[in-house]
């Protein structure tokens, strides 16, 4: 008995010791994670401060105005698409009205012909015809024929009423579309005027810059032009994919979208993982539209060389190096080439209504090609600082500006990535 109690006591002491060790290890891990998070946050704040200090007030004004220009150009593009859609709708409605009017006229003509026939029959009544029948069979046959004619006339009247209602509805829609297209054109004119004013303001600020600062402003403008070109291409891909999906549904007679998810309303259903293992949206250092023209989020702070993962299964739409005039240096400080815009970047189409963009990778670190199928968690490149990053890397400090720029596109348009991330 004493031996048994002794064994139990030893077991309990062992469990308690083990539990204390585990708790101590967990506490140590949590402290390490907290320290790492604080370090990353500090580095991010220092980077943000360096970026702000490296820009003059005029450069900040140019960046702000350039963001306004991009917004106006995007709005004009959307209005052009709306005008095109309304124009197509008006053409279809006018064709529909023409067809309905023709059908209505034909029905009306048939009814008019019946009324004329009744009028020309004179004063002969239905009762006279029945009484003039030669036999009971003849009378029943005549009665049935008159009943059929009466029903035919009623059907014609109901058809006319229905066609008239359809015509009125089509004409109402036509009027609404015409009003909408006028509103869209007026809004486009307003956006165009504001765009013109923003460009004039940018030119005025630009003239105040030194030659070196003008070069930086040109690079920022180049970056935003590249952004718009990429967005336009991705929007086109999204439209093509949606049209193909719609046609497939029509052919199959299905109303469902298969694996397609309407992400725009429920981002939490995206099923994304983080693009960098161990980081979450809590580690985002620059948020969506954290400054003018910033259409994604940034992860920064000691990340140079870290693996970048596909957040979900998909197809690589873009895997490219944007070559330009911005010098870039490797981690050893040696010059590795000139870049622009996103530098080394990748876009993945997840075929659920969303695409993701990963930018500023290490030189030559892209591991996937356009058209390649990738799996969630697959390494696609490494975090770097290629392209238009601030502060710019130098030979003496080649890791400056290191960060992963991450975007989520819905129908080709950038949305806040934070709700999609764990």
DSSP 13-73: HHHHHHHHHHHHHHHHHHHHHHHHHHHHHHHHHHHHHHHHHHS-HHHHHHHHHHHHHHHHH
Poorest-pLDDT segment among 9-13, 252-256, 375-379, 390-394: 9-13
Q: Give 70-94 pLDDT, tens digit per residue.
A: 778 778 878 888 888 888 888 888 8
Q: What three-state secondary structure class fits 388? A: coil
* Selected residue with higher pLDDT from 192 and 116: 192
Does residue 5 form part of some domain?
A: no
Q: What is the pLDDT of residue 399?
A: 94
The CA distance from 318 to 109, in Å, is 62
Q: Is 71 a domain residue? A: no
Residues 156 and 111 in one domain: yes
Residue 122 pLDDT: 52
What percentage of the chain carries pLDDT values higher than 90? 26
Q: Which helix (H) or strand (E) holds 341?
A: strand 335-349
Residues 201 and 301 in one domain: no
More confident residue, 129 or 219: 219
> How far is Cα 319 from Cα 374, in angstroms, rounded to an integer?
12
CA dist., res. 56 & res. 79, Å (int) = 35
What pLDDT does residue 319 have? 97
The domain tally of the chain equals: 2
Of 145-149, 201-205, 325-329, 395-399, the range with the highest mean pLDDT is 395-399
pLDDT at 16 over 50: no
Question: What is the pLDDT, as a whole number, of residue 312?
Answer: 94
Pair (117, 246) in one structural domain: no
179 located within any domain: yes
Q: Which residues pair with 354 in a beta bridge?
A: 410
Which of 205, 239, 265 terminates a domain? The answer is: 205
Do residues 417 and 404 make contact, with C-beta atoms less than 8 angstroms apart?
no
Which one of 183, 205, 227 terminates a domain?
205
pLDDT confidence tier of residue 180, bands split at 50, 70 and 90: confident
Judged by average pLDDT, the poorest of 28-37, 76-85, 196-205, 409-418 is 28-37
- Average pLDDT of the chain is 77
Closest by Cα among 375, 377, 379 to 366: 379
* Residues 364 and 235 reside in one and the same domain: yes
Q: Which two tokens stand for residue 148?
A: 């059929």
Cα 257 to Cα 14, 196, 262, 312, 376: the distances in Å are 57, 42, 9, 19, 21
Q: Are residues 189 and 272 in the same domain?
A: no
- Of residues 422 and 361, the one with the higher pLDDT is 361
Instruction: Answer yes or no: is pLDDT of 273 > 90.
Output: yes
Of the pLDDT bands very low, low, confident and very high (cuts 50, 70, 90), residue 125 is low
Mean pLDDT of all residues in 38-47: 54
Residues 171 and 119 in one domain: yes
- Tens of pLDDT, residue by residue over 292-305, are 667 899 999 899 99
pLDDT at 227 over 90: no
- Alpha carbons within 13 A on the beta-carbon side of 162: 8
The residue among 172, 205, 238 that closes a domain is: 205
Q: Does 97 share its domain with 141?
A: yes
Sign of the four-CA dihedral 82, 86, 88, 89? positive
Q: Is residue 264 in a domain? A: yes
pLDDT band, very low/low/confident/very high, at 321 (cuts 50, 70, 90): very high
The pLDDT of residue 257: 44
Residue 21, domain member (yes or no): no
* Poorest-pLDDT segment among 118-127, 152-161, 314-323, 358-367: 118-127
Residue 263 pLDDT class (50, 70, 90 cuts): very low
| CB contact set of 374 (below 8 Å; sequence gap of 6+) | 310, 313, 314, 315, 316, 348, 368, 380
pLDDT band at 261 (very low <50, low <70, confident <90, very high): very low
Is 24 among the domain residues? no
146 with 237, same domain?
no
Question: Has residue 164 got a pLDDT over 90?
Answer: no
Q: Return the pLDDT at 41.
A: 52
pLDDT of residue 2: 39
Predicted local distance difference test score (pLDDT) of residue 258: 42
User: What pLDDT score does 375 carry?
Assistant: 95
Confidence of residue 20 (pLDDT cuts 50, 70, 90): low
Higher pLDDT, 48 or 207: 207
* Burial class, 74, CB count within 10 angstroms (exposed 0-12 / middle 13-18 / buried 19+): middle
Q: Based on the domain organization, do 280 and 409 belong to the same domain?
A: yes
Pair 416, 283 in one domain: yes
In Å, what is the CA distance from 169 to each residue of 161, 166, 302, 390? 12, 5, 63, 57
Tell whether 181 and 315 lie within a shared domain. no
pLDDT in tens, 230-244: 887 888 888 888 888
Residue 98's domain comprises 89-205
| Cβ proximity of 326 and 387 under 8 Å | yes
Assign residue 335 the CATH number of its domain: 2.70.70.10
- The answer to whether position 76 is within a domain reads no
Q: Is the dihedral of CA 115, 120, 122, 127 positive or negative?
A: negative
The confidence score (pLDDT) of residue 78 equals 82
Q: Is the pLDDT of residue 402 over 50?
A: yes
Domain co-membership, 131 together with 186 = yes
- Return the pLDDT at 223: 75
5 has a pLDDT exceeding 50: no
Answer yes or no: is 2 within a domain. Answer: no
For the whole model, what pTM was predicted? Answer: 0.58
Which range, of 131-135, 187-191, 288-292, 309-313, averages the lowest pLDDT? 131-135
Question: Buried (b) or exposed (e) across 183-205, using 16+ Cβ within 10 A?
Answer: ebeebbeebeebbeebbebbeeb
């Amino acid at each position: 008995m004493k031996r048994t109690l002794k064994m139990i006591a030893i077991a309990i002491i062992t469990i308690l010791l083990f539990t204390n060790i585990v708790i101590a290890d967990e506490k140590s891990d949590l402290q390490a994670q907290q320290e790492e998070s604080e370090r990353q946050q500090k580095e991010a704040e220092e980077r943000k401060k360096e970026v702000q200090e490296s820009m003059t007030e005029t450069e900040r004004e140019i960046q702000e105005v350039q963001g306004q220009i991009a917004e106006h150009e995007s709005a004009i593009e959307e209005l052009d698409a709306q005008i095109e859609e309304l124009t197509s709708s008006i053409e279809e409605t006018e064709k529909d009205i023409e067809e309905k009017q023709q059908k209505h006229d034909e029905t009306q003509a048939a009814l008019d012909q019946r009324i004329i026939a009744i009028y020309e029959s004179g004063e002969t009544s239905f009762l006279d015809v029945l009484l003039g029948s030669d036999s009971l069979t003849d009378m029943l046959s005549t009665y049935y024929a008159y009943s059929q004619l009466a029903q035919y006339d009623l059907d014609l009247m109901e058809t006319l009423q229905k066609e008239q209602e359809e015509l009125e509805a089509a004409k109402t829609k036509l009027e609404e579309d015409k009003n909408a297209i006028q509103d869209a054109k007026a809004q486009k004119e307003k956006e165009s005027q504001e765009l013109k004013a923003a460009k004039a303001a940018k030119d005025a600020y630009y003239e105040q810059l030194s030659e070196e600062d003008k070069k930086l402003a040109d690079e920022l403008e180049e970056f935003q032009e590249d952004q718009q070109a990429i967005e336009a291409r991705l929007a086109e891909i999204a439209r093509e994919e949606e049209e193909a999906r719609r046609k497939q549904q029509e052919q199959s007679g299905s109303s469902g979208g298969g694996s397609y998810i309407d992400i725009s309303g429920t981002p939490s259903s995206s099923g994304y993982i983080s693009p960098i293992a161990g980081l979450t949206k809590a580690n985002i250092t620059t948020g969506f539209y954290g400054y003018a023209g910033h259409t994604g989020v940034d992860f920064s702070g000691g990340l140079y060389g870290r693996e970048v993962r596909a957040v979900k299964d998909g197809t690589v739409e873009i895997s490219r190096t944007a070559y330009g005039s911005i010098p870039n240096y490797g981690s050893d400080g040696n010059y590795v080439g000139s870049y622009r815009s996103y530098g080394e970047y990748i876009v993945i189409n997840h075929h659920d209504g969303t695409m993701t963009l990963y930018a500023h990778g290490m030189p030559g670190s892209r591991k996937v090609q356009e058209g390649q199928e990738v799996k969630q968690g697959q390494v696609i490149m490494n975090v770097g600082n290629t392209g238009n990053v601030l502060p710019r890397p130098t030979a003496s400090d080649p890791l400056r500006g290191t960060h992963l720029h991450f975007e989520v596109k819905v129908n080709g348009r950038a949305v806040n990535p934070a709700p999609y991330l764990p």
